[in-house]
């Protein structure tokens, strides 16, 4: 029996979020290790459908799925100077095999550049081996010191999709960055999650990268969440790992690399962006149950009603709609509505005695609660169209909401006020100097997300910190 109290979604976002995860049966982080959680059966299904979208997009663009080891010898991790500096302190270490101390400590991968490096050195011989585009979906471990949060900041990232690509030239690597960005845009568009893409400042780029582009969305509490990153690694790792290829005229050159990653944060974003006071609202594409059919019982006709529900369900399944009937005797229809609403099932179909008389059913949308009726023989097409319509409207609604949470400000004071109110993202003018950027972050009590990559706009003011000529617009926010 569902017990969730209907928390106000936007007002008590934190409690709402934790509650929905557990009570909708998605993920449970009460495991006795901080930052480690369990994918529950329903959550695992959502994960599966979401990852299918990502796999399809990557496979269609010539990426090959692989699986590399979890352990990294310390000697490998130490090869790239910037990388080791940032990740050494974030690693979980294995120092013993049984009772025997290890000669070389082993790290649990926090990401896999240094796992893949030694193998690329063996595999890549000539220009004919390039480009090489690999990806894997694995767990990685990071000893996060900031507060952990289910799916958002975890220590065992259990759904880490990392792509690693190798190229002959910088030009090709830059083209790859564009392709990766397109793939990620499509992925988040399919999930109906809005985003902005910003080039991270020097001090916030991925350790070992030339530059990093981040995808950010705004959560209901007005803070931003980085939901994906695309990095141009240049030749930093190929030099550290001595990965070279023979060019067409017989010379050896280091390869150029990119990498890009998405974690289970995509689901955190989906749940947060679309949810409401009644619980989750899943986009139809990733809903394990797209249509829940609920019989409205009647003294004499209950059996007939149940049978009709089962028949309608079978028919929908034949057309590849993920439908299910809720025949639980012990629950009232109202309790069932509550339960499936909490789980975010996109469409509810109700069938009662009068509906059977008229050969029709009642259809209720999860996102708007809009109620319509539909003739039974037209139901399949009707639901398929409705799901498409819902996906489009959910995307538009979320986009509109995000747009309303992007502001422009002309002074540090204005930014401070906006971020204090957790108003979302603020765009300001900046001279581009590191000192000024760091000072800005300190003054506003927030973070520079970076320079807009999706919309190029000239700065309208002087730098809001030093007052000198601004080189660029920059986005700032209070980030998760």
For Zn ion, the binding residues (CB under 5 A) are 431, 436, 463, 465-466
Q: Does 142 bind ligand A5A (CB under 6 A)?
A: yes
> Residues, the chain, total?
480
Size of the residue set binding ligand A5A (CB under 6 A)? 19
Q: Does 154 bind ligand A5A (CB under 6 A)?
A: yes
Among 131, 228, 284, 446, binds ligand A5A (CB under 6 A): 228
Q: Which stretch binds ligand A5A (CB under 6 A): 254-262, 312-320, 342-350, 453-461?
A: 254-262
Q: Does 157 bind ligand A5A (CB under 6 A)?
A: yes
Per DSSP bridges, beta strands 256-262 and 156-167 are antiparallel
What does the DSSP 8-state code read for residue 479?
B
Alpha-carbon distance of 44 to 164, in angstroms, equals 25
Q: Does 198 bind ligand A5A (CB under 6 A)?
A: no
Q: Which stretch binds ligand A5A (CB under 6 A): 5-13, 255-263, 391-399, 445-453?
A: 255-263
Alpha-carbon distance of 155 to 145, in angstroms, equals 9
Instruction: Give which of ligand A5A, Zn ion, none residue 437 binds (C-beta under 5 to 8 Å, depending on kind).
Output: none
CA 342 from centroid of its chain's CA atoms:
21
* Nearest Cα residue to 454 out of 104, 279, 194: 194
| Two tokens, residue 202 | 């020097």
- Over its C-alpha atoms, the chain yields an Rg (Å, rounded) of 25
Of 139 and 169, CB closest to ligand A5A = 139
Q: Which stretch binds ligand A5A (CB under 6 A): 224-232, 295-303, 309-317, 461-469?
A: 224-232
Smallest gap, in angstroms, from Cβ of residue 459 to ligand A5A? 26
Q: Does 29 bind ligand A5A (CB under 6 A)?
A: no
Among 7, 74, 80, 162, binds ligand A5A (CB under 6 A): 162
Q: Which stretch binds ligand A5A (CB under 6 A): 69-77, 93-101, 222-230, 328-336?
A: 222-230
Q: Does 114 bind ligand A5A (CB under 6 A)?
A: no
Alpha-carbon distance of 329 to 169, in angstroms, equals 65
Among 265, 274, 343, 475, binds ligand A5A (CB under 6 A): 265
CA 319 from centroid of its chain's CA atoms:
29
Q: Does 217 bind ligand A5A (CB under 6 A)?
A: no
Among 45, 176, 217, 226, binds ligand A5A (CB under 6 A): 226
Smallest gap, in angstroms, from Cβ of residue 153 to ligand A5A? 5
Smallest gap, in angstroms, from Cβ of residue 200 to Zn ion? 18
Helix (H, G, I), strand (E, B) or coil at 421: coil
Instruction: Give which of ligand A5A, Zn ion, none residue 338 binds (C-beta under 5 to 8 Å, depending on kind).
Output: none
Helix (H, G, I), strand (E, B) or coil at 450: strand
Smallest gap, in angstroms, from Cβ of residue 224 to Zn ion? 22
Instruction: Give which of ligand A5A, Zn ion, none residue 216 binds (C-beta under 5 to 8 Å, depending on kind).
Output: none
Instruction: Give which of Zn ion, ligand A5A, none residue 74 binds (C-beta under 5 to 8 Å, depending on kind).
Output: none
Residues 223, 452, 404, 407, Cα dihedral to 10°: 80
The answer to whether 226 and 215 have CB atoms below 8 angstroms apart is yes
The secondary structure of 256-291 as a DSSP string is EEEEEEE-THHHHHHHHHH-BTTB----GGG-S-SE
Of 162 and 326, CB closest to ligand A5A = 162
Of 167 and 265, CB closest to ligand A5A = 265
Strand order in the sheet with 360-365: 323-325, 291-295, 347-351, 360-365, 371-375
Number of H helices, E strands in the chain: 14, 23
115-118 own/partner pairs: CB under 8 Å, 24+ apart: 115/68, 115/69, 115/72, 115/76, 116/68, 116/164, 117/76, 117/79, 117/237, 117/240, 117/241, 117/243, 118/76, 118/241
Q: Which residues form the interface with ligand A5A (CB under 6 A)? A: 111, 113, 142, 144, 153-154, 157, 162, 206, 226-229, 231, 259-261, 263, 265
């Amino acid at each position: 029996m569902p017990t969730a109290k209907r928390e106000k979604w936007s007002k008590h976002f934190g409690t709402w979020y934790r509650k929905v995860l557990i009570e909708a049966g998605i993920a449970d982080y009460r495991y006795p290790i901080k930052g480690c959680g369990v994918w529950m059966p329903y959550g695992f299904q959502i994960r599966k459908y979401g990852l299918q979208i990502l796999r399809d997009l990557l496979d269609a663009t010539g990426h090959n799925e692989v699986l590399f080891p979890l352990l990294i010898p310390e000697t490998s991790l130490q090869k790239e100077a910037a990388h080791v500096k940032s990740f050494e302190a974030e690693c979980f270490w294995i120092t013993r095999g049984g009772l025997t101390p290890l000669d070389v400590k082993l790290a649990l991968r926090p990401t896999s550049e240094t796992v893949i490096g030694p193998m690329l050195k063996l595999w890549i011989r000539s220009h004919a081996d390039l480009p090489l585009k690999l990806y894997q979906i694995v767990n990685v471990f990071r000893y996060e010191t900031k507060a952990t949060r289910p799916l958002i900041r975890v220590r065992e990232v259990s759904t880490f999709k990392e792509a690693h690509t190798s190229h002959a030239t910088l030009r090709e690597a830059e083209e790859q960055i564009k392709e990766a960005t397109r793939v990620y845009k499509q992925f988040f568009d399919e999930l109906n999650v809005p985003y902005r893409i910003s080039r991270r400042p020097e001090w916030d780029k991925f350790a070992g990268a030339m530059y990093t582009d981040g995808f950010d969305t705004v959560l209901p509490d007005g803070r931003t969440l980085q939901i994906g990153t695309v990095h141009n690694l240049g030749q930093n790792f190929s030099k550290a790992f001595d990965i070279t290829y023979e060019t067409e005229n017989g010379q050896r050159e280091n390869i150029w690399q990119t990498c890009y990653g998405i974690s289970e944060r995509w689901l955190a974003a989906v749940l947060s962006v679309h949810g409401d006071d009644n619980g989750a609202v899943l986009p139809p594409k990733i809903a394990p149950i797209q249509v829940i059919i609920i019989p409205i019982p009647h003294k004499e006709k209950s059996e007939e009603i149940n049978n009709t529900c089962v028949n309608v369900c079978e028919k929908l399944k034949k057309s590849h709609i993920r439908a299910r009937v809720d025949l639980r005797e012990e629950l009232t229809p109202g309790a069932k509505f509550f339960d499936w609403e909490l789980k975010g099932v996109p469409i509810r179909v109700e069938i009662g005695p009068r509906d059977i008389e008229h050969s029709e059913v009642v259809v209720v949308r999860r996102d708007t609660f809009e109620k319509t009726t539909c003739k039974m023989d037209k139901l399949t097409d009707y639901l398929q169209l409705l799901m498409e319509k819902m996906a489009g409207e959910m995307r538009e609604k979320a986009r509109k909401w995000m747009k309303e949470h992007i502001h422009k400000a002309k002074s540090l004071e204005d930014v401070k006020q906006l971020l204090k109110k957790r108003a979302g993202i603020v765009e300001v003018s900046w001279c581009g100097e590191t000192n000024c950027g760091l000072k800005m972050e300190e003054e506003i009590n927030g973070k520079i997300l970076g320079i807009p990559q999706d919309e190029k706009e000239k700065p309208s003011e002087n730098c809001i910190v030093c007052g000198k000529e601004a080189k660029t617009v920059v986005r700032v926010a209070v980030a998760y």
